[in-house]
Amino acid sequence: GAVVSQHPSWVICKSGTSVKIECRSLDFQATTMFWYRQFPKQSLMLMATSNEGSKATYEQGVEKDKFLINHASLTLSTLTVTSAHPEDSSFYICSARVPQGDGYTFGSGTRLTVV
């Protein structure tokens, strides 16, 4: 149980275009979704926290106009990387708190390459 499905698994896009990443909670309702970014050989860095029906809160240094987060329903949160640049190339992962207990479940991640 407590599965988060993330799509796409990988995407290559041209510089200046936008890319949307989706995370769906399949068997539970995720009122809060966390979005992380991981550069090679680095740890997961929290980018933002999205709450269903309200605006996301962004960590310091993360551009809210560049990384658009929408959490329109209890089962779907999306991250749109707008006007992507090569330095945005990274591994993006979503996460939600599991409904029972205190743990967190992660999506499978999206490898974004901007060329």
Partner 1 sequence: QKEVEQNSGPLSVPEGAIASLNCTYSDRVSQSFFWYRQYSGKSPELIMSIYSNGDKEDGRFTAQLNKASQYVSLLIRDSQPSDSATYLCAVKGPSTTAGAGSYQLTFGKGTKLSVIP
Q: Residue-wise over 55-89: b if at least 16 C-beta within 10 A, else e?
A: ebebeeebeeeebbbebeeebbbbbebeebeeebb
CB closer to partner 1 out of 14 and 41: 41
One residue of 93, 96, 112, 114 binding partner 1 per CB under 8 A: 93
Q: Which of 29, 42, 73, 83 binds partner 1 (CB under 8 A)?
A: 42
Of the CA atoms within 13 Å of residue 49, those in its CB half-sphere come to 8
- Contacting residue, 11, 13, 70, 111, with partner 1 by CB under 8 A: 111
Figure out which of the listed residues 1, 61, 86, 101 binds partner 1, where binding follows CB under 8 A: 101
Q: How far apart are CA 74 and CA 32, in angstroms?
A: 8
By CB under 8 A, name the binding residues for partner 1. Answer: 6, 32, 34, 42-46, 49, 51, 57-60, 91, 93, 95, 101-109, 111
